[in-house]
Amino acid sequence: MHQTVHVELGERSYDVEIGPNLLAQSGAMIAPLLHRPKIAVLTDENVAELHLDALRDGLASAGIEMTSLALPAGEATKSWPHFERAVEWLLSEKVERRDVVVALGGGVIGDLAGFAAAVLRRGVRFVQIPTSLLAQVDSSVGGKTGINAPQGKNLIGAFHQPSLVLADTSVLGTMTQRDFLSGYGEVVKYGLLGDAEFFEWLEANGPDVSDGEMAARVRAVTRSVQMKADIVARDETEQGDRALLNLGHTFCHALEAATGYSDRLLHGEGVAIGCALAFELSSRLGLCSQEDPSRVRAHLRAMGMKTDLADIPGDLPGAEALVDLMAQDKKVIDGQLRFILARGIGQAFVTSDVPREAVLSVLEDALTTV
């Protein structure tokens, strides 16, 4: 059941190992990277409670000694104060230039630890051990690292590729169903943006993925990571194609901002609703058939996911205000909104050529059902 996806980036290439019970094998997998049998692990308090002992045992079985720092769980940790604490802890642990830092956790820890590794002693290597579905299929792969600023999310950071990613699909069993389905929003995104067959497979097998059927989980994670790896290999620093990974994200970021980045709307939930809206917009612009947005919504609905604006609890601002929030997105170039639209399921493309009125009309109609 164990799969390997290679991310081809010349001298920065690495493998993503995907399968059950990889924590137990972590020592054997990480050992080839080490100059001395010692590793510093950054994690969060929740993940530490659940998985740190398993990682310690896995490393010890290869004779690797581990020290760890557990930061508070949650998005607020992706900030200067916790970043400073992490970097100073790594220095106090005497992590050297040839050592390896491990990120054990979800997207927050992966992004923060990766950024800490990027700047520590001008750059040390790091290994991602993502423990959430979202981190396994998205944030642990591709080398985007960083923290949030008061001015916005992910505004401080660096591209720093990991040396190895261990996506242990067994640990997904400890996620809440809501968090798991939020990550599944990113999985669906891959089918929608570039692989109609994968989307069809998800329509048939999504319930098995959600119910914890291991072979289905491994396949869903592997196909998602393979798609991300191919896109990142073509466009590491997002000069072009990598923006395809932002399907659904322009709508999502406006909705996240409108809901105050609170648990009214998790990131992957916003991505799923955003994908449905991006297909609605594509259909209204005559780019794809009217059936496509209905099919996207039908799958999200069948999975028990948030699908429409009405599924977001509480009030939302009007369409104009939401479009204004989109204009604050960091992906805006020269004041032009960039959208990922689609000519059909699996056929996404990047464009700045979207009339504001068309976006407004999609949002106005979506808001009338709230």
Contact footprint for ligand GLY (CB under 6 A): 138, 142, 144, 238, 242, 245
Q: Minimum distance from CB of 241 to ligand GLY (Å)? A: 10
Closer to ligand GLY by CB, 75 or 308: give it: 75
Q: Catalytic: 11?
A: no
* CA–centroid distance for 3 within its chain: 19
- Quick one: which H or E segment has residue 340? strand 339-342
Q: How far is residue 27 CA from its own chain's centroid?
A: 25
| CB closer to ligand GLY out of 82 and 242 | 242
Quick check: 197 and 48 in contact, CB under 8 A? no
Rounded to an integer, what distance in angstroms lies between the CA atom of residue 221 and that of residue 230? 14
Which of these is catalytic: 17, 82, 148, 186? 186
Is 267 annotated in the active site? yes
228 is catalytic: yes
Active site residue 144: yes
Q: In terms of Cα–Cα distance, which of 326, 189, 179, 187 is closest to 244?
A: 189
Q: Which of 56, 219, 267, 299 is catalytic?
A: 267
The phi and psi torsions of 36 (rounded to 5 degrees) equal -145, 150
Q: Which is nearer to ligand GLY, 142 or 346 (CB)?
A: 142
Beta carbon nearer to ligand GLY, 217 or 242: 242
The residue (of 144 and 217) whose beta carbon lies closer to ligand GLY is 144
Query: Which listed residue (217, 228, 295, 297) is catalytic?
Result: 228
Active site residue 122: yes
Q: Is 242 a catalytic residue?
A: yes
CA distance 230 to 254: 28
CB of 245 to ligand GLY, least distance (A): 4
Catalytic status, residue 249: yes
DSSP bridge pairs for 108: none
Q: Which is nearer to ligand GLY, 19 or 114 (CB)?
A: 114
Residue closer to ligand GLY by CB (options 82, 249) is 249
3-state secondary structure of 337: coil
Q: Quick check: is 331 catalytic?
A: no
User: Minimum distance from CB of 340 to ligand GLY (Å)?
Assistant: 11
Q: Are 18 and 222 in contact (CB under 8 A)?
A: yes
Shortest CB 141 distance to ligand GLY, Å:
7
In whole angstroms, the minimum distance from the beta carbon of 235 to ligand GLY comes to: 9
We find the least distance from the C-beta atom of residue 34 to ligand GLY, in angstroms, to be 27
Q: Kindly write down the DSSP assignment for every residue of 64-81, as one continuous string.
A: -EEEEEEEPSSGGGSSHH
How far apart are CB 270 and ligand GLY at their closest, in Å?
A: 13
Secondary structure (3-state) at 150: coil
| Alpha-carbon distances, residue 329 vs 49, 151, 233, 320, 325 (angstroms) | 35, 11, 25, 15, 7
Do the Cβ atoms of 312 and 252 come closer than 8 Å? no
Distance in angstroms (rounded) separating the CA atoms of residues 202 and 346: 13
Whether 246 is catalytic is yes
E strands, 225-369, are 339-342, 348-351
**Known catalytic residue: 121?**
no
Active site residues: 122, 144, 186, 228, 238, 242, 246, 249, 253, 267
